[in-house]
Amino acid sequence: MARDIVYFDLETRRTANDVGGWGNKHKMGISIAVTYSTKLGEYRIFQEDETSDLIHQLTRADLVVGFNHVSFDYEVLMGHTIFDFREQVCDLDLLVDLEKKLGHRLKLEAVAAASLGTGKTADGLEAIRWWQQGKLAEIAEYCAFDVKVTKCVHEYGAKNGFVKYHDRNGREQQVAVEWSVD
């Protein structure tokens, strides 16, 4: 039976400044969350009132893959559940893995642009502006694209044993990764 890898990202309703700092991620709210399940072969879009369905999918996945989802997205979700994802879900946070290897954080954009030749379509602050303007379709499209980029970066690393990235000086570098899920 095939493993169910669920790629995951969410966007918030509020910034860290709006909720009194980064220690209050659980107060940021969810505008849109998106998953891609390898078992279902489809993207799913969740609004805040569907958080229980999102949590259900994440907790039943064989592996949850994201980019900074352990310290950000899970913390935002903690505002909607008593469930502690970090202890109950098998996950691979690409940012955490890369930071351990490189000693510093990278943006998804830096990895995607170098490895895939494509980058992100917007940023989280733009998604919050869209939320304030009631533009849910734009948020869903942006978030789904981030999930797709994360999935493609993961697959690239799993297939090649490395990912490329642009360093702080814009030079292309590469780093070995062990992301194979076989």
The more confident residue out of 37 and 15 is 37
pTM assigned to the model: 0.90
Strands 63-66, 91-93: parallel, antiparallel or unpaired by DSSP? parallel
**How much helix, strand and coil, in percent to the nearest 5, is found in the chain?**
50, 20, 30
Residue 131 is predicted with a pLDDT of 81
Mean of per-residue pLDDT scores for the chain: 89
Reply yes or no on whether the pLDDT at 181 is more than 90.
Answer: no
The stretch 55-74 carries a mean pLDDT of 93
The stretch 148-166 carries a mean pLDDT of 95
Domain range list for the chain: 5-176
Of the pLDDT bands very low, low, confident and very high (cuts 50, 70, 90), residue 106 is: very high
Structure tokens at 141: 């499209």
- Domain 5-176, architecture per CATH: 2-Layer Sandwich (3.30)
Q: If you search the block for the tokens 């900074």, which residue do you land on?
A: 68
Reply yes or no on whether the pLDDT at 1 is more than 60.
Answer: no
The more confident residue out of 154 and 89 is 154
Roughly what angle, to the nearest 10 degrees, separates helices 108-116 and 94-102? Answer: 90
Residue 182 is predicted with a pLDDT of 66
